[in-house]
Structure 1
Amino acid sequence: MSTIRRVGLLAASGAAAVAFATACGSSGYHSSTTPPPSGPSSTAPMTPSPGQSATTVKVTNNGSLSQILTDSNGFTLYRFDVDSNNPPTSNCNTGCIDTWSPATVTGQPTGTGVDASQLSTITRPDGTKQLTFHGWPLYRYSGDSKAGQTNGQAIGGTWWAVTPSGGKAMAASSSPTAPPSTGGGY
């Protein structure tokens, strides 16, 4: 392999690693109006405690995003564009899960207002079962301290609240694009 080709491959690999780390990291907040979370909230648990099951997914009406999926406690469920739905694969591991908690389940997932045949699970590296919908692994965002919040929406242009059809939730007049620039570069 030529030196030029090796350098090109190395540069491409490095760029991909930086993009992935940025998407998963806790510094990828989408605007200056959404402050980073200060830590876990005592309002409600982000993941079920041992013995508690978060197996119910429901459709919730949410102002600007219309209908989205939430867990049984009303917390928004998100999908990550870097994951895969075919086959269902989570690429949010290690540091990423500090901000994006996998929606874990203990038992058979069920749904209210969703196609229950599209609910399933994958086994994470630690052995826990993560909820999937239409094959996409689902997560909760640490910046959502109360039920109904969607502070994780569009972070890094890769994290999205989930629609009842498994798609990316969008505001009524928007399309799936990168978040607006903060003014840099002009």
Structure 2
Amino acid sequence: MKTRIMTTKLAAAAALALLLAGCANGGGTTTEESAPAGGYDAPSASSSMAAEGVTSLSTAETELGQIVVDGKGMTVYQFDKDTQGADTSACTDECLTAWPPVHGEDVELEGVTGEVGTITGNDGQPQLTLNGWPLYYFASDKQAGDTTGQGVKDVWWVLDPAGEPIK
């Protein structure tokens, strides 16, 4: 069963943006707003983007158990140095190069049971959260099903469908 959600903050922001759009000249998205963050190819937030700007999160069965992946099957991770439920990420600078955030606003879920939300990531883009944990990719994961980030430095973990780290 697929579920499509838009986080509460984003729904309110969208309503405000529509209200303000009637007062502004011009419109649309600037190049700066629409350009992908980073500048590296794989994996990127665009790898999880489905049609019409929808990000997909689903589950996959792996040797680690059932884990959360994006719409292309790329594994997503949680960082122990983040504070669950906080509005910020502890991953900055070089960390973001190795662990790019999972971007998204409008989310389609399949098999994911934890609460999905967003924070403003350290790259300025909306970063998805699951069960209060900011979500990341691992740059060394090159194809769907890779879980090479699992347990890196004993602080990076895949998540189960409820958003609990699998350690």
TM-score (norm 1): 0.61
Q: How does 1:142-161 map to 2 (within 5 A)?
A: 142-161=139-158
Q: How does 1:117-132 map to 2 (within 5 A)?
A: 118-132=115-129
Distance 2:83 2:162 in 1: 16
Whether contact under 8 Å (1:70, 1:77) holds in the other structure is yes
Q: How does 1:1-186 map to 2 (within 5 A)?
A: 45-48=43-46, 53=53, 55-62=55-62, 64-105=63-104, 107-115=105-113, 118-169=115-166, 176=167
Distance 2:112 2:83 in 1: 20
Change (3 A) 1:125 1:143: closer
Report SS of the residue matched to 2:127.
strand
Write out per-residue CA displacement over residues 78-130 of structure 1, whole angstroms, 9 at most, x where no aligned residue: 0000001122431101110110010011x3222101126x0111012442000
Distance 1:76 1:141 in 2: 8
Report SS of the residue matched to 1:98.
helix
Give the equivalent residue in structure 1 for 2:4: none
Report SS of the residue matched to 1:111.
strand
Whether contact under 8 Å (2:77, 2:136) holds in the other structure is yes
Whether contact under 8 Å (1:48, 1:54) holds in the other structure is no
Report SS of the residue matched to 1:89.
coil
Task: Give unmatched runs, 5+ long, in structure 2.
Answer: 1-39
Report SS of the residue matched to 2:157.
strand
Change (3 A) 1:54 1:149: farther
Write out per-residue CA displacement over residues 52-83 of structure 1, whole angstroms, 9 at most, x where no aligned residue: 64611001111x20100000110000000000
Change (3 A) 1:126 1:100: closer
In structure 2, give the amino acid aligned to 1:108: D
How many residue pairs are counted as aligned between the two chains? 125
TM-score (norm 2): 0.68
Write out per-residue CA displacement over residues 1-50 of structure 1, whole angstroms, 9 at most, x where no aligned residue: xxxxxxxxxxxxxxxxxxxxxxxxxxxxxxxxxxxxxxx66xx542217x
Structure number with larger C-alpha Rg: 1
Give the equivalent residue in structure 1 for 2:9: none
Report SS of the residue matched to 2:106.
coil
Whether contact under 8 Å (1:100, 1:140) holds in the other structure is yes
Identity within the alignment, %: 36
